[in-house]
Structure formats: C-alpha cells, structure tokens
Amino acid sequence: MTGRGMLIVHVALLALLWVLQFVLPPFHHGMVARILVLAAYAIGYNVLLGYTGLMSLGHAMFFAAGVYGAGLLVYYSAAGAVSGLLAGVLAGLGLAVILGLLSLRTTGATFLLVTMMFGQVGYLLTLYFNRITLGDQGLILSGRLEPLRVGAIDVTLSNPAVRFNAALLIFGLCLLLSLWLARSPVGRVLVAIRENEERTRMLGYDTFRYKLFALVLSGGICSLSGAAYALLFAYVGNTFASILYSIYPLLWTLLGGAGTTFGPLAGTALMSYAIDVASGLTSAYLMVVGLVLVVTILWFPSGIVGSLRARRWRWLP
C-alpha cells in the first residue's frame, strides 16, 4: 500500500475514535479517554521494543517523569497546562539521554535488568522526596489548573468533552509519529538493528546512535503521555513510577502486537476492558488478566495486530 493509503487508514481510525465521544455512555466515555492516553504510552514503548528490539522494564520512569514534571510544576506554581506538558516532556527527554548513554552499552537480558534498576531508582526517589511528592498519597491537581484560553473561549481540562478530545489529540500525534517512524529511513535502520545488529554495523550504520535516538524518542512519547495523564486526570502519585507501570506497556504492546502501529491501542483497550470486566466479577481479576495473556501468547504470539498482519493484511505498518 502507498504512503498516502496508509495515512488515510490511520486518519480514518482517528476519525472513528472522534465519533465515539458522541455515542458512548458517560462511563465508557471516560474509560476511552484514559485508554487513549495510556495507548500513547504504549506507542512510546513500542518504538523501543517493537521497532528496535530492546525490551525495557524501566519505562515507568519516563511516564513518571511526565507525570511529576507536569504535575509538580502545576501544583507548586501558577504554571498552566501547556507549560506543564512541556516540563514533563523535557524531563522525560533529558532522562532518556542520560539513561541511554549509560544503559545502551548492554543488550538483551542485561538491558532489561539495567533499565529495571533505573526504574526502581526513580520510584525510590519519589519516596525520598516525600515532602514534595507526598509519596504514594500523591497530589490532587483539581482546582489548581487554570482553564486554557483558546482565543476568547476558556477551556477547562476537567470537562469530559475537553478531556476526551485532548486525549485523542495526544494519541493521534503519537500514532502519526509512529507511522512516520515505521515508514522512514531511520525506522528501517531500527528494524534492521532489531533483526541483526552486527549486520547493520557492517552496512555502515553507527548502531549506538540509532538506538539512542530510539530510546530518546520512546522516552519523549512516554513522558508526553505521562504529563497528559497527570493534567487530564488531575492526579500525581507514585504508583505511576512503580514497576507495575513498567510492566503494563510491555503487556499492552505484546498483546496488541509489537512492531505494529495499531497494536499499542488494541492491546491497551483490550487489557483495560478485560481488567474492568474481570474486576466486576471477582477480586482476583489479575488472574483473568493472566489468562488473557496466556491465550494470546499461545495462539497469537505476535499479538492481535501482528497476527492480522501475518494472516491477512501484509501491508499493515
């Protein structure tokens, strides 16, 4: 399929999601807004896992960098949503550069462990600076965020309609960024590194620099998602820095299909609704989640969208 064709397919999906807000009942309206922001997080994770072949267990640190970068600024100063968003993304980008220079000397299981250690350091820092972050109790941003002024209209982020469309905007931006990456010459090199790094070096590519680029792009997208999450749902807490939030994007990405542009949304949506349905039935809802994962890995090892690509639509980016 041509580049224009793929762009149309992606924009069509975004249009479909936009229409959803007019048909969904209030509960699902809020749920989908949350899924969209978290799917952006999964897209960022997928840049590293799906397209570059590096599995991290420390990405909560990037999500939390966005959450705290945006949240603390808004909580402790008169800064608005836009400055908060910028602060969150800058924190994530800076962190990604430092982490990349330190951890990208390793690959495979060592990389997994090194990123997990850094992720835990991030979590412990939120406790150490308890007086500022209030640790696991967290900070409520409600009432502290000035309405955004767009022309003559005041926009309140806590308004459900605004929240949904802001979430969709963030998600759409990340989705189109990942589509660009999948089709760009840089993305082709990242896939080559995933498939065979040594061969890629012998084609004349400085693979370290490409991996660093991938990690910084990934960290940037994840922190954008974290910053948006803090601002839209008005809460900053250190669960977002915990190992659970490093495992989530891994599961969402594997479930939806690593190395596909639609996979992160599919995985995030399916997992969120599975947890929602299961927790209504039993308090052991994580067991249901586990079952979904086992089934996926047994029958759809390349994830939902990955299997669709393998069996039906080979053009899927």
Partner 1 sequence: MAVAALTARGSLLQTLGLTRTFGGLQAVRSVDFRLLPGEIHAIIGPNGAGKTTLVNLISGRLAPDAGRVFFNGRDITHLRAPDRVGLGIVSTSQSISIYRRLTVFENVALAAQRRLMQRLAERVALNRRALAEEVAASLDRVGLGGAADATAGALPYGHQRLLEIAMTLALRPRLLILDEPTQGLAPDEIGALVALIRRVARDVTVLLIEHNVTVVLELSHRITVMDKGRILAEGAPDEIEAHAEVQRVYLGA
In the complex, the residues that contact partner 1 under the rule CB under 8 A are: 3, 180, 184-186, 188-189, 191-192, 195-196, 198-207
Cβ closest to partner 1, residue 191 vs residue 292: 191
- Chain centroid offset of residue 311 CA: 27
What is the β-pairing status of strands 148-150 and 139-140?
unpaired
The nearer residue to partner 1, 18 or 205, going by C-beta atoms, is 205
Closer residue to partner 1, CB minimum distance, 197 or 245: 197
Nearest approach, Cβ of 220 to partner 1 (angstroms)?
Answer: 16
Integer Cα distance of 142 and 70 in angstroms: 14
Q: In whole angstroms, how close is the CB of 203 to partner 1 at the nearest point?
A: 5
Using the minimum distance from each CB to partner 1, give the nearer residue, 218 or 242.
Answer: 218
- For the bound state, the minimum distance from the C-beta of residue 256 to partner 1, rounded and expressed in Å, comes to 20
Q: Is 275 exposed, middle or buried (0-12, 13-18, 19+ CB in 10 A)?
A: middle
* CA atoms of 290 and 6, how far apart (whole Å): 33
- Nearest to partner 1 of 4, 131 (CB atom): 4
Helix or strand holding residue 100 (H, E)? helix 81-103
CA atoms within 13 A on the CB side of 4: 0
Q: How far is the CB of 210 from partner 1 (least distance, A)?
A: 10
Residue pair 285/275 in contact by the 8 Å Cβ criterion:
yes
Report helix, strand or coil for 150.
strand
- Min separation Cβ 301 and partner 1, Å: 14
C-alpha count within 13 angstroms, C-beta hemisphere, residue 130: 5
